[in-house]
């Protein structure tokens, strides 16, 4: 079974996939152990890990390196966040070749101009491409993929840009005409009203994908009731959780002047050894080292 087959099979098995963002093999392993259906190879999380803003500063090479490392350690299907596709339709052709070869099961391409600015930042520049130009990107992606099961997901930022539901629906319909397998609809409202309204208005032939970062109260039960959303991506929770734990632990160690208190509230080093599969290494040593 190819990585893309794996994702398609999971979609067929369940009405709603839960996809957790990952920025490293370790975060991918933890997401897999927690029972998620797949991984979101997050551009935002990798940018944050590198201490950079999410503004197209991370290169495709850097992102691919992360994805390959994750694919080498996890069995979950990977949905790759490739922002605007690293340029125009010609860049998208190159990107699809590389991401499919690296082990991705799907890519998400958004209809912003390059370089992009993070969707949820207050007052950020949110300029969108012409519909026809983005259709060309989707057509290029679909024509390039080798595995017909490889998903090309078109992400419209029309609601993020304040263009309204009618424009978002028009763009989504145009992207489906260009061959998109799914539509990711994004919103920065702190309630789910825009997303639920779009879902009710959507009559397109492909399912929807959402990223409930700004509107966390929208849970799986309510999403299933809408009937046309097949994937929820938890887009920045991994890096935020990691940063929260490190911030609290580092501050506590500094305030205490040592680790005498902090060590009791963090994972024992043996748990890290388990995640690293040290027992497998020790077994190999016993078998092969003379």
Q: Which tokens is 31 given?
A: 């997401």
Question: What's the per-residue H, E or C state across 170-203?
Answer: HHHHHHHHCCCCEEEECCCCCCCHHHHHHHHHCC
In the annotation, is 219 catalytic?
no
For residue 16, the SS3 value is coil
List the catalytic residue out of 54, 81, 111, 181.
Answer: 54
Q: What's the distance, CA 147 to chain centroid?
A: 20
For residue 232, the SS3 value is strand
Q: Which tokens is 131 given?
A: 């519909």
Q: Which tokens is 150 given?
A: 């490889």
Q: Which tokens is 35 given?
A: 């029972």
Task: Kindly provide the b/e burial profile for residues 74-97, where b requires at least 16 CB atoms within 10 angstroms of the residue's own CB.
Answer: bebbbbbbbbbbbeebebbbebbe
Which residues contact residue 3 at a Cβ distance below 8 angstroms, ignoring those fewer than 6 apart?
71, 77, 78, 103, 104, 105
The residues annotated as belonging to the active site are: 54
């Amino acid at each position: 079974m190819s990585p893309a087959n794996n994702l398609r099979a999971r979609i067929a098995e369940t009405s709603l996939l839960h996809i957790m963002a990952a920025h490293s093999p370790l975060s991918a392993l933890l997401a897999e152990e927690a029972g998620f259906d797949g991984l979101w190879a997050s551009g935002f999380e990798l940018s944050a890990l590198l201490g950079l803003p999410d503004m197209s500063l991370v290169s495709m090479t850097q992102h691919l390196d992360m994805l390959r490392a994750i694919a080498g350690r996890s069995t979950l299907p990977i949905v790759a966040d490739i922002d605007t596709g690293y340029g125009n339709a010609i860049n998208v052709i190159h990107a699809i070749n590389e991401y499919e070869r690296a082990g991705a099961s799907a890519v998400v391409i958004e209809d912003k101009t390059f370089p992009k600015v993070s969707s949820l930042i207050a007052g950020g520049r949110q300029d969108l491409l012409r519909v026809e130009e983005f259709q060309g990107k989707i057509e290029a992606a679909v024509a390039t993929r080798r595995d017909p099961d490889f998903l090309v997901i078109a992400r419209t930022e029309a609601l993020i840009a304040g263009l309204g539901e009618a424009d978002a629906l028009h763009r989504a319909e145009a992207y489906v005409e260009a061959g998109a397998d799914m539509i990711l609809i994004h919103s920065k409202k702190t309630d789910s009203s825009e997303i639920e309204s779009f879902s009710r208005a959507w009559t397109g032939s492909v399912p929807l994908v959402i990223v409930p970062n700004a509107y966390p109260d929208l849970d799986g039960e309510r999403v299933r009731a809408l009937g046309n959303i097949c994937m929820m991506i938890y887009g920045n929770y991994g890096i935020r959780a990691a940063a929260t734990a490190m911030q609290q632990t580092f501050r506590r160690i500094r305030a205490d002047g040592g680790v005498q208190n902090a060590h009791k509230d963090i994972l024992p080093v043996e748990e890290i050894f388990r995640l690293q599969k040290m027992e497998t290494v020790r077994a190999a040593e016993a078998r092969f080292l003379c």
